[in-house]
Amino acid sequence: MKDDFKSLSPEDLKKEILSSSEEVRKARFQFGVTRSLENPKLIRNHKKRIAQALTVLREKELTAKGKLKQIAPKAGSAPKAAKTSKGKKK
């Protein structure tokens, strides 16, 4: 899904965000009036699409400005070694 967004232009991404936002608004209104939805996952799926499109749009903006770098794990973020003895100190 995210790969689909990467191939879109920024204008198309903005259109996708607006259309998904409109769908969320309509679904919330329908739920508020009838207290039921045909597809309860509709809101969640559209919110995910909005978040993914916003993420790709931001990546494209940062890439255009030259500020996006390859993200590497921090040096101190490696898992710590397990302790071997848990006995009481004498």
Q: Could you read off the pLDDT of 16-58 as tens digits, one per residue?
A: 999 999 999 999 999 889 988 888 899 999 999 999 999 999 9
Q: Any residues with CB less than 8 A from the CB of 62 and at least 6 apart, and which?
A: 68
CATH of domain 2-68: 1.10.287
Handedness of CA 21, 22, 23, 29 (dihedral sign): positive
Q: Residue ranges of the domains in the chain?
A: 2-68
Predicted TM-score (pTM) of this structure? 0.68
The pLDDT mean for the chain works out to 83
